[in-house]
Amino acid sequence: MKTFEELELIAPLRRALADEKYEIPTPIQAQTIPSALEGNDVLGCAQTGTGKTAAFALPILNRLGQLNRKALPNSPLVLVLAPTRELAIQIGESFATYGKHLRLRQVLVYGGVKQGNQVRAMGRGAHILVATPGRLLDLMNQGHISLSQLEVFVLDEADRMLDMGFMPDLKRIISKLPAKRQSLFFSATMPPKITELAARLLTDPIHVNVTPKTSSVKRIDQSVHFVERHNKQTLLKTMVTADGVERVIVFTKTKRGANVVAEKLHRSGISSAAIHGNKSQNARQKALESFRNNEIQVLVATDVAARGIDIDGVTHVINYDLPIEPEAYVHRIGRTGRAGAEGIAVSFCSSEEIGDLRAIEKLIGQKVPVSGGTEPAPSASVRPSGQSRGRRPSGQQGGRSSGHGRSPSSTPGSRHAASRRASEATGSGDSPKPRRRRRRPSQVS
């Protein structure tokens, strides 16, 4: 494995990396940085958590740092497009961290806030512009931003852009890019429309694939705790107060669920906040900041709100509700165990959610070890009226039967101690069937 020293980055970048205590490039960095430094286009298949931001930010900063030019008003040299404000802000923070010993100007442009500050900042000049597509187009149409001087274009999380309906905006922006440029393109998945877009955008790209799904899934200590819906909150409280459970992201299926869970934790004296699409941009940022700064222990999020959030040191992800789409499980648990660090993911599964659990296991090609509760008898998982929740049959293959039933080095020792203890506390092996196991419907906070 190469070290950062061997990547021959300029001294101010090496200093910043040493400040951050980065020593070894992650696989995507090792594969992307040398080619990008030579000016090649890159097609990277990778999701957040793999170190991809530095994979594109370092070669860009290296280039700008070497040339030492003045920032031009309204005409950035580098454009990074991201699907969400949260991701744009995070990318901006990464550029600021890695570029802190360079004198470069960057501007962030995203919707949901007034445009005045962004327009003025562009007028003062920007080497690097990090933007979401809608607001960028608005400012381009108003004449506040021109892409005529652009040298490097980065498209991050292209598949998410597609999911969020940004394709028309994206095409309009791409039509304004100068023909001579370097393009770096990242996507967690490569559906046909994304491959088509990449082919249009890139010239002789190098292909980098860090197969994030299996690698991130393997690094994370996963378990499932069988618990009925009405006991989930008590179990959650017991879990987050256990030793070693420091920084937790809890996932709920609905926005309302996120509010209720956060509110109840808060009332039990556990510092928490909810983030979801109904919250204002400011409220979401504030909650993320407090979580980052360790002012709150638990962040309760819905899938959409949590997309792309990158916070170091998340010790636990707890799936309060299992996601309906199995792919979301992989994204969720990827919030812990980032960039090589280990993480723990515990999923609460009620008898109604057994089908969701099986779909997840099929997707990840392994059985999730049980850390608490009792798996409901098959009959308990059948919905009374036979109605399904309308989950699309997973179009993914991935159900490698050989992996099925094999639990990965399950060490139910200390890892799952919190879960076991919680199980004892709540008697939460509580599928409705073996009722006798429930000692006492413990106090709801």
Interacting residue ranges for ligand AMP, rule: CB under 6 A: 22, 24-26, 29, 48-54, 310, 312, 338-339
> Closest CB to ligand AMP among 292 and 437?
292
To ligand AMP, the closest distance from the beta carbon of 423 in angstroms equals 32
We find the least distance from the C-beta atom of residue 9 to ligand AMP, in angstroms, to be: 12
Q: Are 347 and 221 in contact (CB under 8 A)?
A: no
- How near is the Cβ of 166 to ligand AMP at its closest, in Å? 20
Query: At its nearest, how many Å lie between ligand AMP and the CB of residue 320?
Result: 24
Task: Pick the closer one to ligand AMP by CB: 52 or 420.
Answer: 52
Going from the C-alpha of 262 to that of each of 34, 129, 309, 333, the distances in angstroms are 45, 35, 18, 19
Name the phi and psi angles at 346, rounded to 5: -115, 135
Distances (CA, A) of 41 to 38, 203, 204, 206, 276: 9, 6, 7, 6, 35
Q: How far apart are CA 337 and CA 358, in angstroms?
A: 23
What is the closest distance, in whole angstroms, from the C-beta atom of residue 378 to ligand AMP in the complex? 40
Least distance in angstroms from the C-beta of 398 to ligand AMP: 23
Backbone torsions φ then ψ of 259, nearest 5 degrees:
-60, -45
3-state secondary structure of 104: coil
**Identity of the residue, 156 or 321, whose beta carbon is nearer to ligand AMP in the bound complex:** 156
Residue number with CB closer to ligand AMP (54 or 368): 54
Q: How far apart are CA 83 and CA 293, in angstroms?
A: 25
Cβ atoms 167, 202 nearer than 8 A: no
The CB-of-337 to ligand AMP minimum distance in angstroms stands at 10
Q: Which is nearer to ligand AMP, 51 or 365 (CB)?
A: 51
Nearest residue (CB) to ligand AMP, 52 versus 255: 52
Choose among 419, 248, 271, 421: nearest CA to 335: 248
Q: Please, what is the minimum distance in Å from the beta carbon of residue 336 to ligand AMP?
A: 12
Q: Which of 91, 52, 86 is nearest to 187 (CA)?
A: 52
SS3 248: strand
Residue with Cβ nearer ligand AMP (53 or 231): 53
Q: How far apart are CA 327 and CA 159, in angstroms?
A: 13
Give the integer Cα–Cα distance in Å for 256 and 177. 42
- Minimum CB distance to ligand AMP smaller for 90 or for 118: 90
